[in-house]
Amino acid sequence: TPRTSPRADEGRCPFRDAASHAPDTAPNGCPVSPQAASFDPFESDYQLDPAEALRWSRDQEPVFYSPRLGYWVVSRYADVKAIFRDNRTFSPSIALEKITPTTQAAQDTLQRYGYAMNRTLVNEDEPAHMERRRALMKSFELEELAHHEPMVRRLTREYLDRLVDKGEADLVDEMLWEIPLTVALHFLGVPEEDMDTLREYSIAHTVNTWGRPSPDEQVAVAEAVGKFWQYAGQVLEKMRQDPAGHGWMKYAIRRQQELPEVVTDSYLHSMMMAGIVAAHETTAHATANMLRLLLENRAVWEDLCANPSLIPNAVEECLRLSGSVAAWRRIATTDTQVGDVAIPQGAKLLIVSASANHDGRHFENPDELDIYRDNTTDHLTFGYGSHQCMGKNLARLEMRIFLEEFTRRLPHMTLVPDQTFTFVPNTSFRGPEHLWVRWDPARNPERRDNSLREQGRDFPLGAPSRRDAEREAVVTRVIHETPDVIRLVLEDPRGRPLPRWTPGAHIDLVVGDITRKYSLCGDPDDEQRLEIAIRREEPGRGGSRLIHDTVKPQTRVRLRGPRNHFRLDETADGYLLIAGGIGITPIIAMADRLKRLGKRYAIHYAGRSRGSMPLLERLKRDHGDRLCLYPADEGRRLDLPAVVGGRGEARVYACGPARLLDALAALTRDDADAIHVEHFSASHAILDPRREQAFEVELSDSELTVPVAADQTVLQALRAVGVDVPSDCEEGLCGTCEVAVMAGEVDHRDKVLSADERAASRRMMTCCSRAKRGKLVLGL
């Protein structure tokens, strides 16, 4: 049978004529492929591993119609994200639709209780959704979430106290299921005395929406859900008597007084129930998935025990690799396309975030658990865009505390071998029903040191920063290149492989309290070692002096990255490589690569004297015929206007002191696109509120308007409202915090964008750049 991927040119199915003869036909007229026909998300291979079950789809048929489900299934990262982003074409109204249709008897039961669950947030269309989301956002801001942290810590400790001496436990039953539910009730502001009853009912509600109850079970479930509905109403009434204090529902009641038509009674009642589910099961499953994954990867678990600062990034990587929401749903409001497949109006879509999160088109080594991964927060487990999970930072907070307590108090815990993991069959929520672990209580570290129980560490709230993901390395060689330049060879202390990199990439070297960026200058394909060269900067900030004075063979250091913001475009024919002094480090890696590719290139390398120019011997050996040297003490000066003037079509890559790069920028103003430079320092301006203006940024994807105060960066303002933008140097050097600019005039203050890019103003660095005047609209 030929593969019948419905790749439609201009949305037309190429197999339309054949379709009438096909056994199964999708609503767009395309025949259904055998794999699409047999896809069933209630079967065990999808339950066990949704990403693996859809590998064939990611590779061959990224958008397919599933006749068994009656849904279009979407499996690639870019498509899933694009659907999340466009919530007008792809309405979320079916997000909570019952997967198993309710029997008449169950419906009658619900009616007896006056059950009237309405749309909430997650399944509400615009403009109602955004009005509500904005009105109710405050409880999710980081400052508010901080009030819940001591409660999560206390609960986790208490539950752990109960099992720490047992030696074996089912973590789901004994801890992970209950804590997130209790946290959810606290978050909503439910009075203590009502918690037990609501806890019981909320479980029935979950089965009602997502599960596959039999007809008999449905009536029993409906009874519980009906009672839940009534009880939730009573608790809400009680809260109305005194809506002061923290708690999302209390806040919503207060907001209702100001905005009665936005925060309606029906909405409050529905949200009381839906809120518990949104916060509870998602987090309980995510934690169980995370602990399982980490215990299955013992070396990673041990890294976390040894270095808890890795926990925030590890949590995120677990959400990517084994999240608790595997798929979400949307319905097409008009005839449209996903990728190049025609999707008719009214089509239901199952967008499989678990598959998207394993897409090698977006994530390097997608199936590897790499807790040092620097774009792990791009995962789609929390959705994306205007409906993106409002509670993500509460979930992160809980997961981090769980992991921190377990790694500290039970580092020797292991999975009970050969256990079979089972999952409640459903399309979306995914987590094992049981998670058996064991350990030897005699080895509990707190038996030796009682104070250990109290030694928990807190993490900053919000998305992890790259600072949270540092790799240990050991310096295996220190080579004196010149009197003031040392070259360091770095290896993993346990001999594990290090990541590969591309020319122009750098790492952040962390020694003691200082962090400095250094370009990689060794062999990009060598997985055993990384090489950097460091010049002693006498007038500098002291970092290089400290490294020179203290780093010896066998010194332990930490590093972040590699990352590449100085990428070599390999498509050009000719290259002009210009380096001043220590700026040779990225340039030599580029030269090596260009040589291997057989490209035309020339290296112009300037310095004070031959003796002060690092990597000279290797350059002469490997690139002798392409090398022009300019040692100033020999009277040879780099004539930049002549060299650059004669470049023809060649692309220019330059790295060196600011003087050199400024001169280059002045010479190439008209052809800024062909020039690529790497700066190693920026004037680190601290915001002076007397000189800065406050302004607003409007976020087009999430439909939020965020005020940026005069003493605040755009990045800080975005973080304060829970919007994740990765960042790194926060000095306008590294390009990590770049966002798309849709409208508005930007006052660019970074060193990353070229003159042309600044003029076009289609992107900006949020750590330093601001609005020139008025408002900025950002693609977030």
Q: Which of 64/382 has CB closer to ligand HEM?
A: 382
For residue 587, the SS3 value is: helix
CB-based contact 663:642 (threshold 8 Å):
no
Q: Which of 202/388 has CB closer to ligand HEM?
A: 388
Q: What tokens were used for 92?
A: 């979320």
How near is the Cβ of 186 to ligand HEM at its closest, in Å?
10
Q: Enumerate long-range contacts of 622-629, CB under 8 Å, 24 or more apart.
A: 622/591, 622/592, 622/595, 623/588, 623/591, 623/595, 626/591, 626/601, 626/602, 627/603, 628/602, 628/603, 628/604, 629/605
Bridge-based pairing of strands 695-699 and 704-708 is: antiparallel
Q: Which of 131/698 has CB closer to ligand HEM?
A: 131
Residue 510's Cβ-side half-sphere holds a number of Cα atoms within 13 Å equal to: 14
How near is the Cβ of 551 to ligand HEM at its closest, in Å?
41
How near is the Cβ of 95 to ligand HEM at its closest, in Å?
6
Return the HEC string of 616-644: HHHHHHHHHHHEEEEEHHHCCCCCHHHHH
Contacts (Cβ under 8 Å, ≥6 apart) of 454: none
How near is the Cβ of 169 to ligand HEM at its closest, in Å?
22
How near is the Cβ of 128 to ligand HEM at its closest, in Å?
11
How near is the Cβ of 340 to ligand HEM at its closest, in Å?
24
CB-based contact 508:517 (threshold 8 Å):
yes
Q: Which of 54/533 has CB closer to ligand HEM?
A: 54
For residue 141, the SS3 value is: coil
CB-based contact 117:376 (threshold 8 Å):
no
Q: Which of 330/563 has CB closer to ligand HEM?
A: 330
Q: Which of 122/652 has CB closer to ligand HEM?
A: 122
What backbone phi and psi angles, to 5 degrees, belong to 263? -100, 85
For residue 556, the SS3 value is: strand
How near is the Cβ of 84 to ligand HEM at its closest, in Å?
5
Q: Which of 702/727 has CB closer to ligand HEM?
A: 702
Q: Which of 126/671 has CB closer to ligand HEM?
A: 126
Bridge-based pairing of strands 71-74 and 348-351 is: parallel
Question: Whole-angstrom Cα distance, residue 97 to residue 92?
Answer: 10
The site for ligand HEM (CB under 6 A) is made up of 84, 92, 121-122, 133, 187, 278-279, 282-283, 286, 323-325, 328, 381-385, 387-391, 394-395
Question: Whole-angstrom Cα distance, residue 184 to residue 19?
Answer: 50
Q: Which of 349/613 has CB closer to ligand HEM?
A: 349
Q: Please state the length of the chain.
A: 780
CB-based contact 557:486 (threshold 8 Å):
no
C-beta neighbour count of 642 within 10 angstroms: 8
How near is the Cβ of 434 to ligand HEM at its closest, in Å?
19
How near is the Cβ of 124 to ligand HEM at its closest, in Å?
7
Q: Which of 100/324 has CB closer to ligand HEM?
A: 324
Bridge-based pairing of strands 485-491 and 471-482 is: antiparallel
Question: Whole-angstrom Cα distance, residue 35 to residue 601?
Answer: 50
Asked if omega into 62 is within 30° of 0 (cis), the reply is: no
How near is the Cβ of 511 to ligand HEM at its closest, in Å?
35
Q: Which of 392/471 has CB closer to ligand HEM?
A: 392
Q: Which of 381/482 has CB closer to ligand HEM?
A: 381
Q: Which of 123/713 has CB closer to ligand HEM?
A: 123
Question: Whole-angstrom Cα distance, residue 284 to residue 417?
Answer: 22
Which residues are registered as beta bridge partners of 64?
Answer: 73
Q: Which of 22/293 has CB closer to ligand HEM?
A: 293
How near is the Cβ of 328 to ligand HEM at its closest, in Å?
5
43 to 70, 246, 309: CA distances (angstroms):
16, 42, 38
Residue 716's Cβ-side half-sphere holds a number of Cα atoms within 13 Å equal to: 11
CB-based contact 713:732 (threshold 8 Å):
no
Residue nearest to ligand HEM (CB): 391
Q: Which of 369/475 has CB closer to ligand HEM?
A: 369
Place of tokens 């928990």: 456
What sections of 166-325 are H helices per DSSP? 171, 178-188, 192-210, 215-241, 248-258, 265-296, 298-306, 311-321
Question: Whole-angstrom Cα distance, residue 189 to residue 266?
Answer: 18
How near is the Cβ of 148 to ligand HEM at its closest, in Å?
9
How near is the Cβ of 335 to ligand HEM at its closest, in Å?
22
How near is the Cβ of 349 to ligand HEM at its closest, in Å?
12
How near is the Cβ of 202 to ligand HEM at its closest, in Å?
13
Question: Whole-angstrom Cα distance, residue 37 to residue 20?
Answer: 16
Question: Whole-angstrom Cα distance, residue 552 to residue 543?
Answer: 15
Region for residue 642 given its phi and psi (left: phi exceeds 0; alpha: psi -120 to 50; beta: otherwise): alpha
C-alpha 7: how far from chain center: 30
What backbone phi and psi angles, to 5 degrees, belong to 704? -120, 150
